[in-house]
Structure 1
Amino acid sequence: MYLLTADEQEQLFRRCRRAFHLEVQDSYTVADEAEALARFLESGEFEYDPEWRHWDDLVREVTESGRAVQRVRVVTEPHTDYTRFLYATTASNIDSGEEIRWLPRHVIDPDELTADDWWLFDDDTVAFTAFRPDETLGGFAVTKDPRISEYCRSVRNRVWSLATPHAEYRIKQ
């Protein structure tokens, strides 16, 4: 296993044919979301932050070339404030070409998930999201171990089949 920075992980996107992300946390500490999250919690309205354009542009670059970027967000119901915020931000991800689905945590046996978030690239490269003790992004722990890749593929297939597409999922207030 080796550690990649966020910039190095971007190169995996540019080289892959398919990228899948599993998110299993109910909240994240993301520095460039803090102000938008605070405004959202205060007003209930979402304002797109132009600093996020970098991610949207990367996804658009990948998806417009015919490659897939998919994500399943496993969420607790009732929803956390952060989940409501994520739901409000998802339109920009979708507009960039990302396919996003939502899976209520109670729908799946916890033993069928992983405790950590990860990306699966081309079915053979897993990049676990590594968080610092303060819950900020530390980087990505990457492996090509075929057993780990096989397990993550099986988790991906299971959660994707159970999850609800974004257009059909409703946030419960």
Structure 2
Amino acid sequence: MRDSYIRDDPGFIAWQQGRTAEAAARYQAWTELMKQATARGVAVRRARIVSEPLSDYCRFEYDVTARVNLAGGEQVRWLPRRRASDIALPGNDFWVFDGAYGKFNHFTGDGSSAGPEPFDDPRLVKLCVDAFEAVWERAVPHEEYRPA
């Protein structure tokens, strides 16, 4: 849900220098992990809520999504922030696993990781699942999304 994350990420730096293939290659371990998960029948869906025009970091994410996320079997959708104003969203990025537990990802103001926070409180899980489904329904599949 942020417009910028870890700006000293070597993949982001490679992308800034015009080396998109090298940037994507830095996430090969993630792509392989997703291939293994999706081969077992696990559905992996990722929704990105973004400001438009895209920040340089979100442009980087957009440019490597096909080579990293889609190549691993993830489904990715994009939702312009203006279209998310009426969706109740948790205050942090999150993952939900099997609809039963999750993990918040905390970041500092400059986008550095401040560590994860696991959760299994059914109320938090429901909040995150409901928010994600509302975003997913409204978001545009990566293959159709054209950043402003």
- Aligned partner of 1:88 among 55, 63, 78: 63
Structure 1 unmatched ranges of 5 or more: 1-23
2:6 aligned counterpart, secondary structure: coil
Letter in 2 for 1:96: G
**Deviation of the 1:40 alpha carbon:** 2.8
Question: Structure 2: how far apart are the matches of 1:53 and 1:127?
Answer: 23
Identity of aligned residues (%): 34
**Deviation of the 1:171 alpha carbon:** 1.8
Question: Structure 2: how far apart are the matches of 1:136 and 1:149?
Answer: 25
**Larger relative CO (CA 8 A, sep 6+): 1 or 2?**
1
Aligned twin of 1:103 = 79
Aligned twin of 2:98 = 122
Q: How many residues align?
A: 146
1:126–1:142 CA contact under 8 A, matched in 2: yes
Structure 2 unmatched ranges of 5 or more: none
- Aligned partner of 1:148 among 124, 135, 138: 124
Compute the RMSD of aligned alpha carbons: 1.9
Aligned twin of 1:27 = 4
The structure 1 segments of at least 4 consecutive aligned residues displaced by more than 4 Å after TM superposition are: none
Question: Structure 1: how far apart are the matches of 2:27 and 2:14?
Answer: 16
Does 1:158 pair with 2:134?
Answer: yes
After superposition, the Cα gap between the structure-2 partners of 1:106 and 1:40, relative to the gap in structure 1 and judged at 3 Å, is: same
Does 1:137 pair with 2:110?
Answer: no
After superposition, the Cα gap between the structure-2 partners of 1:61 and 1:120, relative to the gap in structure 1 and judged at 3 Å, is: same
Aligned twin of 1:52 = 27
